[in-house]
A = this chain, B = another copy of it.
């Protein structure tokens, strides 16, 4: 069996010297002109997304330990898009990247088992290679403990992982998560995620669990409180770049020693060719724009975590 997810992630971060993760959220209407689909069919659109995704993976593979592929953008092209999603997972694995399937799935226990089958477990079909399965997925804990435990069981059995939504980056999320008295709902979810990820069979040699959490860097004090409440939990941190958070704002998501978090950026990297500052340097060479943006992002996050004990 493959090693524990958190150990594999830790090793990959050390190897690339950064906890930066590129998010692949491609809209076919924003692809580079040469890749935009010529026909309005699902096959053409999915083919364009896949071609772009393969190139992005090839461009960023040297800089980052992992890629996060957002299922929604592929599901928009129906089953053709879903097929492209799985092939891109396989391609990223071929390029030596860890893959986080950003699927935000969640349901009651018996149903969550089926989501785990399609997105996290060992494939039970002769025509699906294990390389088509992501190393970790994002999970919604809203439908309850039974559903999360179905994903945890699949992760435990296969050396994979999951990231449960605790504090999403949507501004409107506050109306949902800030519910409660002195203790907010997202803090309650954090306590549950900490508990769900505890136990020797879920903790890797690095001391971190295969059960992580999605934690957006909102107020620094709130983030530090979450960090303290979840000592063995890896944070998947959205919000950097196009969503407005700086590297410094992400710092409280890491432990003082610079471990236990990964920061994802999607639009600021994959659409870098739309930005004036890259166009001025690279003209119409969209690949150079994406590579440069990824390199800057990876360096930015790399400097952050190299800070070590100086929070």
Contact = CB atoms under 8 A, between A and B. Distances in A.
Nearest to A73: B114
A163 to B, nearest CB: 13
A127 to B, nearest CB: 5
A40 B143 contact: no
B185 A172 contact: no
A147 B82 CA distance: 21
Query: What number of copies of this chain does the assembly contain?
Result: 2
Given A82-B79, A127-B41, A179-B188, A165 B145 contact: no
Interface of A: 25, 27, 39-43, 45, 70, 72-73, 75-83, 86, 104-109, 111-112, 114-115, 117-119, 124-128, 132, 140-147, 149, 165, 168-177, 179-181, 185, 188-189, 192, 238
A175 B148 CA distance: 12
Given A108-B238, A109-B172, 6 more contacts: A79-B86, A108-B169, A142-B142, A144-B177, A147-B172, A180-B181
B175 A25 contact: no
Nearest to A114: B72
12 contacts: A40-B126, A75-B115, A76-B115, A77-B125, A78-B82, A78-B128, A79-B80, A104-B105, A142-B165, A144-B177, A176-B192, A185-B185
A290 to B, nearest CB: 19
B125 A168 contact: no
A236 to B, nearest CB: 13
A86 to B, nearest CB: 6
A230 to B, nearest CB: 16
Most-contacted residue by chain B among A118, A127, A185 (CB, 10 A): A118
